[in-house]
Amino acid sequence: MRIFISWITKSLIAVAAALGLQAAQAQGLLFTPGSINFSNTAAGSVSAAQSVTVEYQGPTPFILNVSSVTPPANSAFTVVDSSCAAGPYPQFTPCTISFTFTAPAAAGPVTDAFRFEVDNLGTQSITLNGSSDGATPQSITFSSTPPSPAPVGGSYDIAATGGESGEPVVFSIDPSAAAICSVTGNTVSFLSVGTCVVNANQAGNGAYFAAPQEQQSFAVTAAPTANPGTPEPVPALGAWAAVLLSSLVAVAMVLVQTRRRVQPA
C-alpha cells in the first residue's frame, strides 16, 4: 500500500512539475515557427512568402492584452499579410503573419523581428533572418563618336550602352557646358563655341549598382562663313562679234597705211 501511495505521489509531483514547466514555457504568445530563415541570397531577388502562427496558450489570464505590434524596421522584410493586431488575445485563438524577404544590394546577413508588446510580459517577437550576396557593378560605354568639326548650329546623335540592369542610359549636359550645347533625348545641339560635355548615367536596381557616370567632351567650333563664290567667266565672243572685231582691225590698218602715204617726204 505504501508503495502504491508513494508511486501516486511521485507521479503527481512529476505531472505537476511538467505542467509547471509547460506553463512557464507557454506563458505569453507562442510563435510557430519561432523564427524564419529565408534562403534567397541573390541581390534583388524576392522570396516566397512564409507564415508564422501566433497563439496565446498561457494558463492565466484567459485573455492576454497586446498593447502594440511593431513590424520589422528593415525594408528587406515585408509583411504581405497579417491578421495579428494590437488588442486582446484569447487563449487558443491564433492569428497569422506572412513575410517575404528581398535580398538587398549590400552583401551580408540581415536580421530583424516582428515585435509584440504584451502587458506585464514585455516584448515578445518573431525573429527574421536573411542574407544577400550583394549587387553587381555595371558600367557605361559610349558607342558614338562626335563630329569633327562640330560647328555651331549643328547637331549630333549620341549613343551609349549600359549594364545589365535594364535601366536606360540617360544623357544630360554637364553644368559647365550649359551655354555650349544642349541635349534632347539623344540629340546634342551645338549652341556656341567652346567645349561640350555630355554626362551619361544609368540607374541601378536591387541586383545592380548604379553605373558610375561617364562623360564625353568635344570642341564646338564657329559656323563656317558664307562662300563668296567665284567670279563669273568673261563670256566668249559670238561669231558676229568676231567678224566685227576683224573688220575694225582691217579698217584700222587701212587708215594707218593711208596716213603714211599722204605724209610729205
Each of the 265 residues of the chain gets a pLDDT tens digit; together they read: 444 445 444 444 444 333 333 333 346 899 999 999 999 999 999 999 999 999 998 777 789 999 999 999 999 999 999 999 999 999 889 999 999 999 999 999 999 999 999 998 899 999 999 999 999 999 999 999 999 999 999 999 999 999 999 999 999 999 999 999 999 999 999 999 999 999 999 999 888 999 999 999 999 999 988 665 666 665 555 666 666 667 776 766 766 666 666 556 5
Which grid cell sits at 113?
Answer: 523581428
Q: What is the pLDDT of residue 206?
A: 83
Q: What is the pLDDT of residue 201?
A: 98
Upper half-sphere CA count for residue 219 (Cβ side, 13 Å) = 5
Q: What is the pLDDT of residue 16?
A: 39
CA distance 41 to 44: 9
Q: What is the pLDDT of residue 170?
A: 98
Q: What is the pLDDT of residue 34?
A: 94
Are the C-beta atoms of 41 and 102 separated by less than 8 Å?
no
152 Cβ contact partners less than 8 Å away, ≥ 6 residues apart: 190, 191, 192, 193, 220, 221, 222, 223
How would you label 206-221 residue by residue, b for 16+ Cβ within 10 Å and e otherwise? Answer: bbbbbbeebebebebe
Give burial (CB, 10 Å; 0-12/13-18/19+) of 82. Answer: middle
pLDDT digits (tens, 9 = 90+) for 133-143: 999 999 999 99
Pairing of strands 150-151, 211-221: parallel
